[in-house]
Chains A and B, each alone.
Chain A
Amino acid sequence: MSIQCFTSALLRCTLVLAAAAHLTIVILGAAGITLPDRLGFAARALSVYEHYTGAGAGFGFFAPAVPDEVLPVVTALDRSGHAARTVLGTRSTSEADLRTSSLTFLYAKTRIVDLYGRSIAAYVMGQNGSVDTVLVTLGFYELPSMRAYAAGARPAYRPFFRGTFRRS
């Protein structure tokens, strides 16, 4: 075997091993396994690699259950007392609605809804200079089970956060 052949074979073996390592990280990511922080540099390096390559992604869409959707109802009041009401996440384009719903769900899940309320209010005020007060209500869109629905139950909106934000 010539040196060139040997180098080429060595390179190929290295690449195959790297591919195997990558796939192992994909499996760990899909299984939701992360390295413990006590592993220090190795855990950090792996996190960076997973983030950039997407190898650490979990794929549990709609799993293990489809939760109740959280709907933000926003009412903007201008100085003359005129009110405009919007339900974020139920506008015309599905992409914008999907992003709004992902955002809302994440805030609700991490229980930092007050911060989300402030963000929405700041955004609405920034968009419209005449808006003086913003009321934000977050609530679950509670859907009955199929059996309950067949028996006459209907979806209901159950608010769990109400915030009033005024321009300072």
Chain B
Amino acid sequence: MTKQPFRAAFCDPLALRGLAYLRIGIAAVLLTKFCCESRYLLEFYGSTGLTSWTITDAVLPPYAPRLNWLRPAFEAFRLSDDRALVAFATLYAALLVLLLLGYRTRLTAPAAWLGHLVLNNTGSLSSYGLDQYANIALFYCAIAPCGAVLSLDALRRGTAAAGGFWPSLVFLVLRLNFALSYLGAGLAKAQGPQWWSGEAIWRAVMQPQFHAAYLQWSWLPSVPLVAQLVCWGTLVVELGYAVFIWPARTRPVWLLAAIGMHAGIALALGLWLFASVMIVMNVALFAPQAVDAVLARLASYRPAWAALSASPAATEESST
């Protein structure tokens, strides 16, 4: 009896779909990030950008892969640093497209992960939380069969992929890793008086870097209780996540609270891509069945789309 939950954890029927949604979501967000940053590529990643490669080299640990390592190859092809950067970034974006489509994911997922590491390290001094979570998500995509379902690989194979021990184990570890990240964030915040007095939210929304032109916050000091409640709410969601995301009864509440918190961060602070990564990870890891339900609903509205998205094996089954 007591062995059942233990066995269930290592044979999770949702693992493959969860990993597939993570793959699709993370690739989509990183492609959007690439589009947003493409105008500023040389500024943040270039050898003569705001931080030159010489400075980055001095700051990075010796084992961190970076574009400067590839300089001899660039020189062999007579590519300037700037052109090599653009070529590398384009290759990385192409890998993300292949990952999104699930084409040869056994190769494209590790390659996209390494590509992300190289680009992120090259512009490491200007990186922030989004890059950190993206690295974690891509690492798990690289080691797990993230293209087993909902992918071109699955369409090519033609047979339904079965879950198993390895995808279930990776899925479980990623879930735990993600839940621990909330706990770490919550504990770090709880140590600061600003998070108890409400000042943290006030200071965040008023900073020029997070200033959203469509929102005004000058009214907040006249009702400081609002700022205080938002801070307390953040602490409750982050500290409680590691515990309350697991039981089936409390999961929907905590999931909605976390998604609401990230949507609020996107709206109030303009951290759209960071919020997107967090929402993608929340949904893929803890509610893949909800995405299944949405897709099924969409499929019922659009029979043609359903016929296209059904795998050959499923089509055969339904016809017999």
**Interface size on A (CB < 8 Å)?**
59
B227 within 8 A of A: yes
Asked if A26 contacts B180 (CB within 8 A), the reply is yes
The main secondary structure of chain B at its interface with chain A is helix
A12 within 8 A of B: yes
Q: Which of A23, A31, A51 has the most CB of B within 10 A?
A: A51
Asked if B194 contacts A27 (CB within 8 A), the reply is no
Contacts of A107 in B (CB 8 A): 125
B318 within 8 A of A: no
The main secondary structure of chain A at its interface with chain B is helix
Contacts of B126 in A (CB 8 A): 99-100, 102-103, 106
Asked if A65 contacts B177 (CB within 8 A), the reply is no
Selected from A57, A65, A90, the residue in CB contact (under 8 A) with B132 is A57
Asked if A30 contacts B184 (CB within 8 A), the reply is yes
Q: Which of B133, B198, B199, B207 has the most CB of A within 10 A?
A: B207
- For the complex, what is the distance from the CA of A115 to the CA of B56, rounded to whole Å? 12
Contacts known (A30-B183, A60-B184, A65-B194); A102 close to B48, Cβ less than 8 A = no
B127 within 8 A of A: yes
- For the complex, what is the distance from the CA of A130 to the CA of B97, rounded to whole Å? 40
Selected from A15, A100, A147, the residue in CB contact (under 8 A) with B50 is A100
- For the complex, what is the distance from the CA of A54 to the CA of B136, rounded to whole Å? 5
A-B interface contact total, Cβ < 8 Å: 177
A37 within 8 A of B: no
Q: Which residues of A65-120 have CB atoms within 8 Å of chain B's CB atoms?
A: 65-66, 69, 71, 87, 89-90, 93-103, 106-107, 115, 119-120
Asked if A64 contacts B192 (CB within 8 A), the reply is yes
Report the minimal beta-carbon distance from A79 to chain B, rounded to whole angstroms.
21
Stretch at the interface among B14-22, B38-46, B151-159, B299-307: B38-46
Residue interface bits A122-149, CB-to-B below 8 A is 1, else 0: 1100100000000000000101011101
Contacts known (A97-B209, A126-B48); A30 close to B180, Cβ less than 8 A = yes
Closest to A89 in B: B209
Contacts of A99 in B (CB 8 A): 37, 40, 44, 123, 126-128
A19 within 8 A of B: yes
B63 within 8 A of A: yes
B204 within 8 A of A: yes
B13 within 8 A of A: no
Contacts of A19 in B (CB 8 A): 169, 172-173
A6 within 8 A of B: no
A47 within 8 A of B: yes
Closest to A87 in B: B208
Closest to B51 in A: A119
Asked if B177 contacts A106 (CB within 8 A), the reply is no
Asked if B194 contacts A12 (CB within 8 A), the reply is no
Contacts of B68 in A (CB 8 A): none
Closest to B177 in A: A26
Contacts known (A65-B200, A96-B40); A119 close to B188, Cβ less than 8 A = no
Asked if B270 contacts A94 (CB within 8 A), the reply is yes
Contacts known (A98-B209, A98-B271, A146-B198); A66 close to B204, Cβ less than 8 A = yes
B287 within 8 A of A: no
Residue interface bits B206-238, CB-to-A below 8 A is 1, else 0: 111101000000101110100100000000000
Contacts of A10 in B (CB 8 A): none
**Shortest Cβ-Cβ A-B pairs, 6 listed:** A64-B192, A30-B184, A60-B188, A63-B188, A54-B136, A99-B126
23 cross-chain CB contacts under 8 A: A23-B180, A53-B136, A53-B139, A54-B135, A57-B132, A58-B184, A62-B204, A65-B192, A65-B193, A65-B203, A66-B203, A66-B207, A71-B208, A90-B211, A99-B44, A99-B123, A100-B50, A100-B209, A141-B207, A145-B202, A146-B220, A149-B202, A150-B221
